[in-house]
Amino acid sequence: MTQTLLTTIKDNIATVTLNRPAKKNAMSFEMMAELVETANTLAATDGLRAVILTGADNCFCSGIDLESLMSMAPLMDKIRGEILNPPKGETANRFQAPITIWASLNIPVIAALEGVVYGAGAQLALGADFRIAAPDTKLSIMEAKWGLIPDMGISQSLPKLMRADAAMELIMTGRVLDVKEALNLGLLTRIADDPLNAALALAQNITTKSPDAIKASKQLVNGTWGCGKAGLRLEAELQAAIIGQPNQMEMVMAVMGKREPKFS
């Protein structure tokens, strides 16, 4: 049984709920591992036709858990090793797999978004096949706040969705988007007053179609859009060169101390 996720299956549709409401469903290392575990379990579940990703207490995910981020500080060599060396036989590393694994499922994955969708939460949402957001949802590719780059599979998702210059601006600034701008930029599939019900309706519609056609449709899009899996290696190499270095740590300390950073 997972500790940070709730999973239910009804009418061949699985709903996976990020369940850390006291922390706005911030993504801990434990949650990362459980996302992979859950996706693998669902991939082996006979008859499953769709997956919905959502968050508890009207909030999707506020980003990486601050305690997990701070725990990296004394373990930089180990973290860099994990970034650069995926498990044997895998393309995605420990931090990419919780996001990229959803694309490997042969069924559609729909993210129902409310509240904040920041950092790691934004990358999880972007790793889904569809994103349906409530009108008051806020989205940000927020890693720049911590002196980092987004390295959880962003190379697989953004090239399918938006222009390179617009993507670079969001990555460099980490600014927060409302749903109208996010929709215009291609980051959302649509806006709905009740995104979970809208996601369920979409999933139910898909279950009326041939599972062979649905599987092939996903393979077609994932196989022909974007830059391919080589992007995961580039993400890893760039992040490994940044994480734990003086300017990145200064960015973290400045945010924690609520002051302006002083870079070397």
pLDDT tens figures, 112-145: 999 999 999 999 999 999 999 999 999 999 999 9
Nearest by Cα to 96 from 227, 251, 229, 247? 229
Specify the pLDDT at position 226: 64
Q: What is the DSSP string of 126-185?
A: HHSSEEEE-TT-EEE--GGGGT----SSHHHHHHHHS-HHHHHHHHHH---EEHHHHHHH
What does the pLDDT read at residue 203?
98
DSSP string, 73-123: GGGHHHHHHHHH-PSTT-SS-TTTHHHHHHHHSSS-EEEEE-SEEETHHHH
198-232: pLDDT as tens digits: 999 999 999 999 999 999 898 888 877 766 677 88
Q: Spell out the domains of the chain, with CATH numbers in brackets.
A: 5-257 (3.90.226.10)
What pLDDT does 74 receive? 87
Asked if 53 and 124 count as a contact pair (C-beta separation under 8 A), the reply is yes
Q: Looking at the predicted structure, is the pLDDT value of residue 1 above 70?
A: no
What distances in angstroms separate CA 15 from CA 33, 48, 70, 207, one per listed residue? 18, 11, 31, 14
pLDDT above 90 for 69? no
Strand 190-191 relative to strand 109-113, pairing: unpaired
pTM: 0.91
Residue 122 to residue 113: CA distance in whole angstroms: 10
